[in-house]
């Protein structure tokens, strides 16, 4: 009951006491008091009728007064009570109409204030529930209902800060890409939901589970809760999924492979823990698919090596010390240079590592996008220098990793900078691999590639045949070029299968109107075989290693489009005219 209601409850009660004479015989004075008391009640009702709750309180008070007080009052001499009541009424009426108006005003204010407070409370409650809904949306994965990557990272950071020992297990579905590609995305979704459903029930058993994206899941288990290991967890999940399949035939046959790491003994910060679990999981994929591997000392060497690469890479990125070399792309039929591939070169600190490894570590350690941006900057500067200093404009291509495909706005900013520099997108081709396109968690990537093509750039599918992809990719992706990986070209002379695959791809390319480029041609015999098979383009050490700008410009002047047909284009020919071009060497 609010204060104002309590007051009127009291007023009603007192007025009821004033009507006690009703219990006795009605003589003149008692009748008068009764009339006054009833009139008082009516005045009070009139005063409070606009506020039903207040009126109700006063009537209840009055009723209670009648019901409870009269028996008590009977024992008190009537004239004492009559005197008190009269005095009360005199005071009340004495205060008069002015006071009544004030009272009414006060009451209105009180009621309005109460209503405003109620309304405010309702608004706060609505906002609060909207906030909770938004938070849960932002922290929940739509498909599986599990906590998402964001909530997982928050939880991981909190646990590290609390210094409580825990295990972290990364899990994913084996050959998930094949399920999606072969059985369709609906079945892929069923598989993800099944794993999500099982992990959602593992809270009690194994700890906190989340979906990190794609087919990647993670479980964090507090270690003193029964010391469950990651291996138990993965076995448990695989078993439950097997059970589920017997009742739901929509779920395809799947297995889960995991990798675990332990805090604090393996690593003591978020990125090292994730890297360690990832490393263990990757090793498990190779050696025990469908099982789990704990991160261990024998993986430490790889881990340390990656950390050293990441450190050197960070420094190189900060100093922007990355340069571009161009490897000529040869038109085998016309016998001349008709383009080039831009390849990155890093400073001395990274000399001991292959570029493949450097780019792989960059992606794993979250440096992929920034490195891609740096590559595109260096590529732009190199193209401008070729044009302005060496008067060379010819088609070139640049390699991009999967990382920047996940940050389209950053990619398009860089692509637009190329256009703003006056470089023609028609002369720029972007090389991507199947893994970059179909790797973990890539969503809407085909639309992104279409947008790149709409800007006027073209796309090449790099390292074709090594990504474990399918021929369907050739149909689905808006590509203008397929690069046959060196592993097919080397050995094509002796291996019938490789030879057959290359010749099939050349025919496929002709049928699709797509350029086919054979990579890694090292011998004249290979070049001749490719030429006789009808291959148009090739790259390889036979003609040139990737060259720094000025040497590449020399090469183009000797063998470029303006030189005319030179079917015998070979390093010997180059060396006869410019000896330093012979196997120009890695820059």
Rounded CA separation 434/234 (Å): 29
400 binds ligand C2E (CB under 6 A): yes
Please say which residue, 292 or 401, places its beta carbon nearer to ligand C2E: 401
Angstrom distance (rounded) from CA 44 to CA 238: 76
Task: Give me the 283-322 binding string for ligand C2E, x by CB under 6 A, dash otherwise.
Answer: ----------------------------------------
Does residue 541 belong to the site contacting ligand C2E (CB under 6 A)?
yes
Q: Tokens representing 303?
A: 């881990």
Give the three-state DSSP class for 400.
coil
Number of residues interacting with ligand C2E: please give it, by CB under 6 A.
21
* CB nearer to Ca ion: pick between 191 and 394: 394
Near Ca ion by CB under 5 A, which window of 111-119, 441-449, 457-465, 510-518? 457-465
Handedness of CA 131, 134, 136, 139 (dihedral sign): negative
Helix (H) or strand (E) holding 93: helix 78-139
Stretch that binds Ca ion, among 131-139, 266-274, 275-283, 514-522 (CB under 5 A): 514-522
Q: Which is nearer to Ca ion, 141 or 519 (CB)?
A: 519
Q: H helices within 288-339, ranges in order?
A: 297-319
Smallest gap, in angstroms, from Cβ of residue 571 to ligand C2E?
11
CB of 221 to Ca ion, least distance (A): 42
Q: Which does 144 bind (CB under 5 to 8 A by kind): Ca ion, ligand C2E, none?
A: none
Q: Is 372 in the site for Ca ion (CB under 5 A)?
A: no
Q: Is 463 in the site for Ca ion (CB under 5 A)?
A: yes
CA gap 513, 347 in Å, rounded: 39
CB of 467 to ligand C2E, least distance (A): 12
Select from 217, 204, 203 the least CA-distant residue to 170.
217
Answer yes or no whether residue 327 interacts with ligand C2E by CB under 6 A. Answer: yes
- Cβ distance to ligand C2E smaller for residue 368 or 425: 368
Closer Cβ to ligand C2E, 51 or 482, answer by number: 482
Q: How far apart are CA 265 and CA 43, in angstroms?
A: 81
- The CB-of-564 to ligand C2E minimum distance in angstroms stands at 25
Looking up tokens 């592993």 gives 487
> Of 11 and 484, which has the nearer Cβ to Ca ion?
484
x/- letters, 453..492, toward ligand C2E (CB under 6 A): ---------xx----------------------x------
Q: Select from 148-156, 319-327, 348-356, 461-469 the region that touches Ca ion (CB under 5 A).
A: 461-469
Q: Does 399 bind Ca ion (CB under 5 A)?
A: yes
Q: What is the CA radius of gyration of the chain?
A: 41
Question: How does strand 292-294 pair with strand 323-331?
Answer: unpaired
User: Which one of residues 97, 356, 511, 579 is an interface residue with ligand C2E (CB under 6 A)?
Assistant: 356
Judged by CB under 6 A, does residue 546 bind ligand C2E?
Answer: yes
Query: What is the nearest approach in angstroms of ligand C2E to the Cβ of residue 207?
Result: 37
Judge contact between 12 and 22, C-beta under 8 A: no
Q: What part of residues 422-441 is at the interface with Ca ion (CB under 5 A)? A: 431
Check residue 344 for interaction with ligand C2E (CB under 6 A).
yes
| CB of residue 480 to Ca ion, shortest distance in Å | 14
Which of ligand C2E, Ca ion, none is residue 356 near (CB under 5 to 8 Å by kind)? ligand C2E
Nearest to 449, CA basis, from 499, 400, 494: 400
What contacts 566, CB < 8 A, 6 or more positions away?
335, 336, 559, 573
Among 539, 551, 553, 554, binds ligand C2E (CB under 6 A): 539
DSSP secondary structure letter of residue 69: I
**Is 412 a binder of ligand C2E (CB under 6 A)?**
no
Taking the complex as a whole, how short is the minimal distance between the CB of residue 556 and ligand C2E, in angstroms? Answer: 17
User: Which of the stretches 122-130, 136-144, 269-277, 537-545 binds ligand C2E when contact is defined by CB under 6 A?
Assistant: 537-545
Q: Which is nearer to ligand C2E, 7 or 385 (CB)?
A: 385
Q: DSSP character for 22?
A: G
Pick 430 or 549: Cβ nearer Ca ion? 430
Q: Which residue has the tokens 């009728």?
A: 49
Binding partner of residue 231 among Ca ion, ligand C2E, none, CB cut-off 5 to 8 Å per kind = none
> Cα separations (Å) of 538 from 429, 511, 517?
16, 19, 5
Nearest by Cα to 230 from 247, 209, 251: 209
Pairing of strands 537-538, 323-331: antiparallel
Q: Which residues pair with 484 in a beta bridge?
A: 464, 518
- Cα distance between residue 193 and residue 250, in whole Å: 11
Per CB under 6 A, contacts with ligand C2E among 506-525 are 519-522
Peptide bond into 215 cis (omega under 30): no
Give whichever of 194 and 502 is closer to Ca ion, judged by the CB atom.
Answer: 502
**Angle at which helices 368-390 and 549-559 cross, to 10°:** 50
Pairing verdict, β 537-538 and 515-518: parallel
Site for ligand C2E in 565-584 (CB under 6 A): none
Task: Select the span of 157-165, 226-234, 519-527, 539-547 touching Ca ion (CB under 5 A).
Answer: 519-527
Q: At what angle do helices 3-18 and 28-48 cross, to 10 degrees?
A: 160
Token look-up 């006060």 returns 106
In whole angstroms, how close is the CB of 473 to ligand C2E at the nearest point?
A: 17
Out of 195, 237, 343, 437, the only residue in the binding site for ligand C2E (CB under 6 A) is 343
Buried b (16+ CB within 10 A) or exposed e, 239-258: ebbeeeeeeeeebbebebbb
Handedness of CA 299, 355, 487, 515 (dihedral sign): positive
Rule CB under 6 A: is residue 375 a binding residue for ligand C2E?
yes
CA distance 152 to 213: 11
- Is residue 462 a contact residue for Ca ion (CB under 5 A)? yes
Q: Which residues of 113-130 are buried (b: 16+ CB within 10 A; e: fewer)?
A: eeeeeeeeeeeeeeeeee
Under the binding rule (CB under 6 A), the answer on residue 401 touching ligand C2E is yes
Residues that bind Ca ion (CB under 5 A): 399, 431, 462-463, 483, 519
Positions that interact with ligand C2E (CB under 6 A): 327, 343-344, 355-356, 359, 375, 399-401, 462-463, 486, 519-522, 539-541, 546
């Amino acid at each position: 009951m609010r204060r104002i209601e309590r007051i009127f409850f009291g007023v009603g009660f007192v007025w009821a006491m004033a009507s006690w004479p009703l219990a006795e015989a009605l003589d003149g004075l008692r009748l008068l008091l009764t009339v006054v008391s009833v009139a008082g009640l009516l005045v009070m009702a009139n005063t409070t009728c606009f506020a039903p709750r207040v009126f109700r309180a006063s009537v209840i008070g009055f009723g209670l007064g009648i019901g409870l007080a009269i028996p008590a009052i009977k024992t008190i001499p009537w004239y004492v009570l009559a005197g008190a009541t009269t005095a009360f009424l005199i005071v009340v009426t004495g205060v008069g109409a002015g006071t009544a108006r004030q009272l009414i005003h006060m009451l209105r204010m009180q009621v309005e204030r109460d209503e405003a407070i109620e309304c405010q409370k309702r608004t706060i409650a609505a906002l609060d529930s909207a906030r909770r809904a938004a938070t849960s949306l932002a922290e929940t994965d739509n498909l599986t209902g599990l906590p998402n990557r964001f909530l997982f990272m928050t939880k991981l950071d909190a646990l590290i800060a609390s210094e409580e020992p825990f295990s972290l297990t990364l899990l994913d579905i084996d050959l998930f890409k094949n399920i999606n590609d072969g059985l369709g995305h609906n079945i892929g979704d069923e598989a993800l939901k099944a794993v999500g459903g099982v992990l959602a029930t593992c809270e009690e058993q194994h700890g906190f589970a989340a979906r990190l994206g794609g087919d990647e899941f993670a479980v964090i288990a507090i270690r003193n809760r029964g010391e469950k290991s990651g291996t138990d967890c993965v076995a448990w999940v695989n078993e439950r999924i097997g059970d589920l399949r017997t009742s739901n035939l929509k779920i395809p046959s799947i297995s889960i492979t995991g990798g675990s790491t332990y805090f604090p003994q393996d690593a003591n910060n978020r990125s090292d823990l994730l890297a360690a679990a990832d490393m263990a999981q990757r090793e498990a994929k190779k050696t025990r698919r469908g099982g789990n591997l704990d991160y261990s000392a024998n993986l430490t060497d790889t881990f340390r090596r990656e950390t050293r690469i990441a450190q050197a890479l960070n420094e190189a990125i900060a100093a922007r010390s990355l340069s571009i070399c161009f490897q000529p792309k040869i038109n085998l039929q016309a016998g001349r240079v008709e383009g080039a591939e831009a390849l990155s070169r890093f400073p001395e600190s990274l000399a001991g590592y292959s570029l493949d490894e450097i780019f792989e570590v960059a992606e794993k350690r979250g440096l992929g996008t920034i490195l891609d941006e740096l590559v595109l900057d260096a590529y732009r500067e190199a193209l401008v220098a070729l044009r302005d200093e060496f008067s060379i404009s010819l088609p070139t291509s640049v390699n991009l990793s999967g990382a920047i495909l996940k940050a389209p706005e950053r990619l398009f900013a860089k692509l637009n900078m190329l256009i703003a520099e006056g470089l023609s997108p028609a002369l720029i081709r972007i090389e991507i691999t199947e893994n970059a396109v179909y790797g973990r968690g890539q969503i809407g990537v085909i639309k992104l590639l279409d947008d790149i093509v709409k800007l006027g750039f073209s796309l090449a599918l790099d390292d074709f045949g090594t990504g474990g992809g399918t021929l369907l990719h050739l149909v689905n992706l808006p590509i203008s070029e397929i690069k046959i990986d060196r592993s097919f070209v080397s050995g094509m002379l002796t291996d019938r299968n490789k030879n057959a695959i290359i010749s099939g791809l050349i025919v496929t390319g002709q049928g699709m109107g797509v350029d086919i480029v054979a990579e890694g041609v090292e011998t004249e015999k290979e070049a001749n075989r490719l030429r006789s098979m009808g291959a148009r383009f090739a790259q390889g050490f036979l003609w040139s290693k990737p060259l720094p700008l000025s040497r590449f410009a020399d090469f183009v002047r000797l063998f470029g489009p303006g030189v005319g047909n030179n079917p015998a284009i070979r390093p010997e020919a180059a060396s006869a005219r410019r000896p330093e071009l012979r196997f120009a060497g890695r820059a």
